[in-house]
Amino acid sequence: MARIRTTVDGLVYEDDVEPRMLLVQYLRERLGKTGTVIGCDTSNCGACTVHLDGLSVKSCSVLAVQANGSEVLTVEGLERDGQLHPVQQAFHDNHALQCGYCTPGMIMQSIDLLGDNPDPTEREVREGIEGNLCRCTGYQNIVRAVQDAAQKMKPGAHAAPQAPQSVAGGGA
């Protein structure tokens, strides 16, 4: 067992984890953050994308112990005071989902992309989300939503991480 201390969606958690525990398992099974989903067993699909210290990662390819001391932002930490994040709102407005399974990862990766490139071309959006697969092949509206969000949130796109609040005893 290893002791880890991690800030997730603005709250600090401390837990003992087995070194083999994947970050996505920790988020889902210990913290109950099931908004982050597991879509594949090959690191291909990007459905489990979260931000680790401000950069998008596939949480199935990071060990929970590697997140010790780090800040994690999941799709569940985007909403502010009942207001959806502009990228979430744009996905809603543009009907950028069919089955919706890829949506959490698509949204997290799109926010990462817009933080880097606030006004991407269609091609840049497609390249920016190349690590995220939509098995329904509904890319058209996803790309449209990302460009719509870009227009509505100029300038600067990274969701400001919340200041850490009280220490919560993990989900264990």
Summarize as ranges the residues that interact with another protein (CB under 8 A): 2, 18-22, 25, 41-44, 46, 49, 52, 55-58, 60-63, 65-66, 109, 112-113, 128, 130-133
Least Å distance, CB 81 to another protein, is 29
Least Å distance, CB 101 to another protein, is 16
Contact between residue 114 and residue 148 where contact means Cβ atoms under 8 Å apart: no
Taking the least distance from each CB to another protein, the nearer of 16 and 165 is: 16
Taking the least distance from each CB to another protein, the nearer of 41 and 81 is: 41
Q: Is 155 helix (H, G, I), strand (E, B) or coil?
A: coil
* Amino acid present at 154: K
Least Å distance, CB 25 to another protein, is 7
Q: What sign has the CA pseudo-torsion 20, 23, 24, 27? A: positive
Least Å distance, CB 9 to another protein, is 19
Taking the least distance from each CB to another protein, the nearer of 6 and 49 is: 49
Sheet holding 49-52, edge to edge: 55-58, 49-52, 71-73, 2-8, 11-17, 167-169
Contact between residue 95 and residue 149 where contact means Cβ atoms under 8 Å apart: no
Taking the least distance from each CB to another protein, the nearer of 109 and 147 is: 109
| Total length of the chain | 172
